[in-house]
A and B are shown apart, each in its own frame.
Chain A
Amino acid sequence: MRNRCATNSPVRSVLENAENMTIQSVPGVALRSLVTTAGEDLADGFRQWRLWGRLGWLEVRRRYSRTVIGPFWSAISLGMFVLALGSVGTGLWSKSASDYLPFLAAGMVVWLMIANIVTESCTLFIAGTNLFRQMRFNYSVMAYALVWRNFIVFAHNLLVFVVIFLVFAPDRIAPNRITPATLLVLPGLVIVLVNSVWVSIVLGMLCLRFRDVQQLIISLIQISMFVTPIFWPPENLQGAARFVFVDFNPLYHLIDIVRSPLLGRLPAAESYIAMVALTIVGWWLTYLLFSYFRKRIAYWS
């Protein structure tokens, strides 16, 4: 910015004089710069929860406006998918329906939320131009709204899991199947959502600048559904493939820290370690990118 002149001392002193002049000639005034830092954007944006809460909620309403059952359509289509695939999978993996269907439903509910967040993130800033080209705007508000509206849909989809849990696994209703581990659903979800925010900011910026990335992400997310243990039990895969698609697949850990507690099981400690690492590295990277490129977002749009 101005430090372009910093090496050239005569110019710099002129500039400094100009600054001093300015400040002296407007006495008793607290002037603030219009520059927003990445940290301010993220923190102030989060504090505007009424705004992003509203933007997210209205978006859900809009998407299902004039339908009778609204967001439950998402749940119904998911339910049909789980039933159909569950029938095939039960035979394929020679598991009992009471074992396989809750596993499939829990995995799909979480995966669907993550997949939708990732896909929608690609158009986060492309679709939001009419907002941030009109006023000074905390871009993070859009990311929070996106994650929030997908969480609302997730809450509706969760009904599929609950119904399947009740119908297909009556033995799990007994108190010993809703275990203390079930409580870990909450921290699991928090971890998923916290990571969703940085993913949507990074993908939003990347896809705004490079319009090809969106296509790439859509193909990748489709493939990820098959290579991540959602349809198939992770223990069925062995050897090097297990290493790649289970142990080193962040999506597996992200899904499992919610899925296992839903099924009353304790997630593996490795999953938590992986997720803490992902959260730290992801947010650190996002902060760097956002600090550097935040001011370019308006120019890229």
Chain B
Amino acid sequence: MTSVVVENVRVDFPIYGSRRSLRKALFERATGGLILRGEGRHQGMLVVKALSNISFKLQEGDRLGLVGHNGAGKTTLLKVLAGVYEPISGRVLVNGKITPLFDMMPGLDGEDTGYQNIVTMGMLLGMSRAEIEARIPEIEQFSELGEYLDLPVRTYSAGMTARLGFAVATAIEPGILLMDEGLGAGDARFAERAANRMKEFVGRSRVIVLATHSEPMLRSMCNKAALMHEGHMINFGSVQEILDQYYSIVHGVFTPVIPVSGEAPYVGAGQS
């Protein structure tokens, strides 16, 4: 059964910048041995605490919407779930294939033709050559790019590139689907067809984690929601409950209480 378990995950981003040069690191290594304290090797560097104490569980059928201000940690959490960032502490356990869709086309290259990009992207998303070949007619038909697929992608308009990306991305077999703000898609006529295809695509996935600011999207796609605030997951519950809480924060009615470190409750399966 598909599931995701996140336990006490913490992610800090040290801001490399002034200390990025080897000269300075060597210099500090030579002189600063005694003044190192507290944060260890990141001492003296600005550190962004992107996620603290995140714990939750998701099971088959769970469609989680992540809600929160810009910079609340939604995207970082998605990237941790995707396995891009390994947490500083805590762990993420999964059962099932992870399908991250953050960028329309990872590995997209303007010099390559549409067909070449379809194959490269499919491979990056973990499909075999044969699986991709089998899906090409469907991608051709849905993207409606016709002969453009034989041309380099740099000749496409932005909307056409988006259509190609959307057609490929939604052709894969999603497992645990991770999405940041959904997928954009071309002009109005295409957007309508895209909405249907998206619905069907999302329906095929086992678990969804979606970061969004869009209430309609949240209501239509999610059956659970979590409120992110300054790197903490301060609540986990029904979409309605989380939205109410989010708006009360937005309107300044409610000040979120950040849970004390080490006492993060397990939320997820069982609660809704």
Contacts and interface: CB of A to CB of B under 8 A. Distances in A.
Interface of A: 1-2, 4, 11, 15, 18-19, 21-22, 25-26, 28-36, 50-51, 54-55, 58, 61-62, 65, 130-137, 209-213, 295, 298-300
Given A61-B112, A130-B103, A210-B25, 9 more contacts: A22-B5, A26-B3, A31-B93, A36-B83, A58-B120, A131-B106, A131-B124, A135-B125, A211-B21
Interface string B89-108: 11111110010101100110
7 contacts: A26-B57, A31-B93, A62-B112, A65-B111, A130-B103, A135-B84, A211-B20
Given A21-B266, A62-B111, A135-B84, A28 B123 contact: no
A32 B94 contact: yes
B252 to A, nearest CB: 34
Decide if the interface of chain B is mainly helix, strand, loop or mixed. mixed
Contacts of B189: none
Contact of A210 (B14, B22, B90): B22
Contacts of B83: 34, 36, 135-136
B131 to A, nearest CB: 12
B120 to A, nearest CB: 6
Interface string B152-196: 100000000000000000000000000000000000000000000
B270 to A, nearest CB: 8
A35 B25 contact: no
B205 interface: no
Contacts, number: 125
A51 B120 CA distance: 8
B13 interface: yes
Nearest to A141: B124
Contacts of B8: 15, 18
Contact of B1 (A29, A135, A136): A29
B21 A210 contact: yes
A interface majority secondary structure: helix
B6 to A, nearest CB: 10
Interface of B: 1, 3, 5, 7-8, 13-14, 16, 20-23, 25, 57, 59, 79, 81-86, 88-95, 98, 100, 102-103, 106-107, 109, 111-112, 116, 119-120, 123-125, 128-129, 152, 262, 266, 269-270
A156 B98 CA distance: 40
Contacts of B20: 209-211
Contacts of A29: 1, 3, 95
Contacts of A132: 84
Contacts of A25: 57, 269-270
Given A131-B124, A135-B83, A212-B21, A34 B92 contact: yes
Contacts of B111: 61-62, 65
Nearest to B13: A299
A213 B85 contact: no
B74 to A, nearest CB: 15
Given A26-B59, A58-B116, A32 B16 contact: no
Contact of B112 (A19, A22, A34, A58): A58
A65 B21 CA distance: 36
Given A30-B95, A50-B129, A295 B86 contact: yes
A205 B103 CA distance: 24
Most B Cβ at <10 Å: residue of A29, A33, A62, A131: A29
A135 B106 CA distance: 9
A54 B123 contact: yes
Contact of A31 (B21, B81, B85, B95): B95
Contacts of A299: 13-14, 85
Contacts of B90: 2
Contacts of A26: 1, 3, 5, 57, 59, 95, 269
Contact of B7 (A11, A18, A50, A130): A18
B123 A50 contact: yes
A115 B270 CA distance: 59
A252 to B, nearest CB: 27
B123 A134 contact: no
